Amino acid sequence: MGMAISAIKPPNINRSRLLHRFLQYVRLDTTADASSSSYPSSPGQLELGKLLVEQLKALSIGDAHQDEHGLVWGTIPATVAGPAPTILLNAHLDTSPETTGTNVQPRVIDDYNGNEILLGTSGLSLSATNTPSLNQLIGKTLITTDGTTLLGGDDKAGVAILMELAQTLIENPHLPHGPVRLLFTCDEEIGQGTKHVRLDKISAVAGYTLDGGGAGSLDVETFSADQATVWFRGKNIHPSIAKGAMINTIRAVGHFIDHMPKHILAPEVTDGRSGFLHPYSLQGGVAESKLLILLRDFDTPKLEEYAKLLEDLAHQTELLWPGLKVQVEIAHQYRNMGDGLRRKPLVADLAEQAYLRLNRPCQREIIRGGTDGALLTALGLPTPNLSSGQYNIHSPLEFACLDQMIEACEHLIVLLDLWQQHGRS
């Protein structure tokens, strides 16, 4: 890496302003809708994006705009003379459809005392029993739900962090950094976050997504992912005359699912680096049924093995019901971002150095899921994922930690300084 480099001390982050941003953003319903044919899939994403553009322009970020696809772009100008690498920072506007994001009522808990947290009148609660990480958050400021919706910290914590970072950098022009490209994507939760992203528009040497969990996490691997659509086509006829004529795809689907691996290769029984097959959606009737299955593994070639397993099972199922047709269609989703990051280790190394310069621990971790960073890395822009203080995502038990959001801002300031120093070494 050339000469030894030191890091600046970040300024105080405006705590109340960051909290205000976050509360403002989570109250906007930006739930992604996989059944929608539009992009973005929900109008709230356009609404939040428009608000961010207004706020960025108010900070004098002249190129801030929302493009024809709803993506929000802006560039924080460099504060150093001469060439310096451009870094992309990314967060996504949408929230998961797994729990409603309508009428979010966030609750702020200052100086958390370690006791059980009742979530409104929902009957749900947060405690060290269902969320052991609370034991490490005593004395922190937490933002929870009322138990009837998700919070939206995934990824509005990341959105708020980047917006607060932008204002902090603008207000402190003495902080050294090269150009900082901001990108807020849509529909990340349904795998479409980078559908309309162009690398030539990003024009950066590296990127970082702010879409991670607790403090100090550096996500350097994701699952590789495909989706299988399995079509079952049979024959319907009135049940009174069905003997020898009806081919009931509902029975065929039941047999197919029952013979998928249950004690291995299922999300209910795997963790760590173990992959899985996950049937998660079923629609249909007697004549035709459609089954959706997730294929996941850190070892990309294994996805082909999983697809072959499904195809063999489809053939075996056809043999049990003469005339039944079972068709397996495999759709590519994303690939392990670790494959790309290993080719350009500096990107993760500098993120780790920034944590260490702040005397904070850093854990390189794997994600049993995906991020925009995985898709950006596959496009050729190495983009690991950084912590943003999210917990219990996609759930009414979701909460965020304000103190860790502040730490994320501080980490980015040091990281950007390390990048500009590296560009000069």
**Enzyme catalytic residues:** 94, 188
Number of neighbouring beta carbons within 10 Å of residue 377: 29
The residues with which 221 forms a beta bridge, in sequence order, are: 366
What is the DSSP-derived secondary structure letter of residue 117?
A: E
Q: Residue 421's CB: how many other CB atoms inside 10 A?
A: 21
326's enclosing H/E stretch is strand 325-334
Exposed e or buried b per residue across 328-356, where buried means at least 16 C-beta atoms within 10 angstroms of its C-beta: bebeebbbbbbbbbeeeeebbebbbbbbe
E strands within 70-141? 72-76, 87-92, 107-109, 117-118, 125-126
| HEC secondary structure over 139-180 | CCCEEECCCCCCCCHHHHHHHHHHHHHHHHHHHCCCCCCCCE
Query: For residue 143, which phi and psi values (nearest 5 degrees)?
Result: -120, 120
Residue owning tokens 């749900």? 124
Provide the pairing of β-strand 217-222 with 363-367.
parallel
